[in-house]
Amino acid sequence: MEKKTKQYNNSNYPENWHRRKTYLPFIVIFVAFLFMIGEVGFQKKFIFYSISHYIYLLALFIGSISMVARIIINSKKKRFQILPFDISLILLLLIVLATQLNLASLLVFEHTEWIYTVIILLFIREASALKLRIKGFFLNPAQLFIISFLTIIAIGTLMLLLPSATYTQIQFIDALFTSTSAVCVTGLIVVDTGSYFTFFGQIVIIMLIQAGGLGIMTFASYFSYFFKGTSSYRSQLQLKEMTYSEGLADVFSTLKRIIVLTLVIEILGGIFIYLSLEEAIIHSVDDRIFFSVFHSISGFCNAGFSTLANSFYEPAFRFNYPLHMIIATLFILGGIGFPILFNLYKYLKYIVRERFIKYSLRKKSTHLPWVINLNTKIVFLTTFILIITGTLAFYVLEYNHTLAEHNGIGKIVTAFFGATTPRTAGFNTVDTGSLRFPTMMFIILLMWIGASPASTGGGIKTSTFAIGFLNFISVARGKKRIEIFRRELSKLTINRAFGIMMLSLIVIWFSVFLMTFFEEDKQFIPLLFEAFSAFSTVGLSRGITADLSNASKIIIIFTMFIGRVSMLTILIAILKKFKPAHYSYPKQEILIN
């Protein structure tokens, strides 16, 4: 009987060894990145402060070798789109390294901020180039979406707990609340953002808002694809559902358009905000720039965070109507949804092309394509109706109340702002606690509806509300299906819409029920307002958020998180998907009314 000998397969040894070598630069740069956070967060109290400089130099040296080696190794691959980035980063890296080693005397690059900048860029570059292979590890899009939000909330909480993030030590529950509110782009606060958090803390908050507004997976997936040039089929399937792309081929082009469009709108918004500010109110140019950037990002992401103690109700900003219109435009664009903006852009491009052909080339188009899709028509029409109805209602109900201090066009602008901000924006130009009861109930309805799908806003979404309303009309007319714009809505869409509406009311009910148990000294209406605001990620409050007990803060934290990721997504992540059944039971009617 022959003895069987175990043979080792060494065919994968070079590949495994090469993969281990690619991990080494990342590990060194990651350690330097942690040292940087520790040094910034603890300043001179950082226990490794004396050796951090040498860790940075080692990371820059290893990073430069890794970058040059990657260019040489990948020279045969046609990846020219990343070559300018790599070459620019190498030049910057070598200049900073030479300056720190006193090999060159460039005063501009002697500041520590340049080292931090290079380390951050190196960290992004090396992390994006990693190829992780974990067999049997596969998350569905819902699970991946939830885990990404939980991860960024945890990181944000730790960052806000750093001593240099606040002027006084913050409690863990307050740091967790602030991080969740920022990542879920809600805007509810337990401490004043402008006076409690330092410049570093406010930078952390605005980064959390940006990551939460677009989704950290959007940035990570696109940069990973950009630097590696490839992506697995599973990743493309996951991203297709997360980005609402039409096909797998459009996934990364959609990601690119989302990131580019966001940056363009936020940059333009920041410029217009800066131009609307008065030098007499904010004296420093640097302060005006930071104010503009902070509120532009917060506005477009529908976060509602402000460095002002009372948002735009502050006396110096209360009557700055151009600023109010700029902020309103930002959160309306952010809340209408990226698919809608892309479809409208496609329609405008088609109109310009047809007009050019018709009037310049004297050719008439014989075919009128379906450029504006059904989703865009429903969302755009619903949004328009809600804005007009809300503005008129706010104007009439608050004319002699909170609008009494405004005159003429100021009343209209303030009413417009007051009607649009409840749909998940969270900024305020009037005292929310002084609103009349009918106005407050109307705002609760607007908060519940919220923004549009695939946007930076929350709520049940405009399309969900529209489908529910259309279904009521169809049932009243005795129809068995919903028809609009010569199209019929699918049963799956209708079922999802009513599932979202029902689940939202259940979550809000539990939130209010639990808070009334822990907050016996508070009135019911402010708690109800708080629950709707948290679930719809609005951020408006009747002034009770900071006074809530720790138990109620935890309830609001869960409510904000559920409202951002949606209860339906959580159920999809938990429950297993069953295969479609190829049979049906006999149908039977039950008593409804």
For 322-363, how does the pLDDT look when each residue is reduced to its tens digit (9 = 90+)? 999 999 999 999 888 888 888 888 788 777 776 665 555 555
Question: With contact defined as beta carbons under 8 Å apart, do 433 and 533 qualify?
Answer: no
Look at residue 474 and tell me whether its pLDDT is greater than 90. Answer: no
In a domain, 7, yes or no: no
In a domain, 2, yes or no: no
Cα–Cα distance measured from residue 502 to residue 505, given in angstroms and rounded to the nearest whole number: 5
Domain span at 373: 340-574
Q: Which phi and psi angles does 484 have, rounded to 5°? A: -155, 140
Give the angle 343-426-468 at the CA atoms, nearest 5°: 55
Q: Which of 71-75, 242-246, 560-564 has the highest mean pLDDT?
A: 560-564
Look at residue 232 and tell me whether its pLDDT is greater than 70. Answer: no
**Residues 325 and 206 placed together within one structural domain of the fold:** yes
How is residue 420 written in tokens?
A: 């649009």
**Residues 451 and 517 placed together within one structural domain of the fold:** yes
**Residues 316 and 414 placed together within one structural domain of the fold:** no
In sequence order, what DSSP letters do the residues of 466-500 get, joined into one string?
Answer: HHHHHHHHHHHTT-SS-EETTEE--HHHHHHHHHH
Count of structural domains within the chain:
3
In sequence order, what DSSP letters do the residues of 329-345 get, joined into one string?
Answer: HHHHHHHH-HHHHHHHH
pLDDT for residue 424: 81
**Residues 487 and 346 placed together within one structural domain of the fold:** yes
Q: Burial level of 558, CB count in 10 A (0-12/13-18/19+)?
A: middle
Q: How many helices (H) and strands (E) does the chain have?
A: 22, 2
Question: With contact defined as beta carbons under 8 Å apart, do 337 and 453 qualify?
Answer: yes
Report which of 427, 429, 440, 430 is spatially closest to residue 402, judged by C-alpha positions.
430
Question: With contact defined as beta carbons under 8 Å apart, do 97 and 61 qualify?
Answer: yes
**Residues 49 and 165 placed together within one structural domain of the fold:** no
Q: How far apart are the first and last CA of the chain?
A: 82
Cα–Cα distance measured from residue 251 to residue 92, given in angstroms and rounded to the nearest whole number: 32
In a domain, 583, yes or no: no
In a domain, 154, yes or no: yes
Cα–Cα distance measured from residue 334 to residue 360, given in angstroms and rounded to the nearest whole number: 35
**Residues 98 and 219 placed together within one structural domain of the fold:** no
Question: Average pLDDT in the 306-324 region?
Answer: 91
Q: What are the tens digits of pLDDT across the range 14-72?
A: 444 445 556 788 888 888 888 888 888 887 666 676 788 888 888 888 888 887 877 77
**Residues 318 and 348 placed together within one structural domain of the fold:** no
Dihedral sign, CA of 308, 312, 313, 316? positive
Give the angle 143-122-156 at the CA atoms, nearest 5°: 45
In a domain, 451, yes or no: yes
pLDDT for residue 385: 93
Cα–Cα distance measured from residue 483 to residue 408, given in angstroms and rounded to the nearest whole number: 42
**Residues 491 and 358 placed together within one structural domain of the fold:** yes
Of 304, 333, 362, the residue at which a domain comes to its end is 333
Q: Would you place residue 252 in the very low, low, confident or very high pLDDT band (cuts 50, 70, 90)? A: low
Q: What are the tens digits of pLDDT across the range 260-298?
A: 888 899 999 999 999 999 888 888 898 999 999 999 999
How is residue 336 written in tokens?
A: 């209408």
**Residues 325 and 182 placed together within one structural domain of the fold:** yes
Q: Burial level of 298, CB count in 10 A (0-12/13-18/19+)?
A: buried
**Residues 416 and 544 placed together within one structural domain of the fold:** yes
3-state secondary structure of 428: coil
In a domain, 581, yes or no: no
483-484 and 487-488 strand pairing: antiparallel
Q: What are the tens digits of pLDDT across the range 496-542?
A: 888 889 999 999 999 999 999 998 888 899 999 999 999 998 988 88
**Residues 373 and 287 placed together within one structural domain of the fold:** no
Of 101, 129, 157, the residue at which a domain comes to its end is 129
Look at residue 82 and tell me whether its pLDDT is greater than 70. Answer: no
pLDDT for residue 319: 92
In a domain, 478, yes or no: yes
Q: Burial level of 94, CB count in 10 A (0-12/13-18/19+)?
A: middle
Of 76, 94, 129, the residue at which a domain comes to its end is 129
In a domain, 586, yes or no: no
**Residues 112 and 233 placed together within one structural domain of the fold:** no
* Single-letter amino acid code for the residue at 511: S
Q: Would you place residue 77 in the very low, low, confident or very high pLDDT band (cuts 50, 70, 90)? A: low
Cα–Cα distance measured from residue 380 to residue 25, given in angstroms and rounded to the nearest whole number: 49
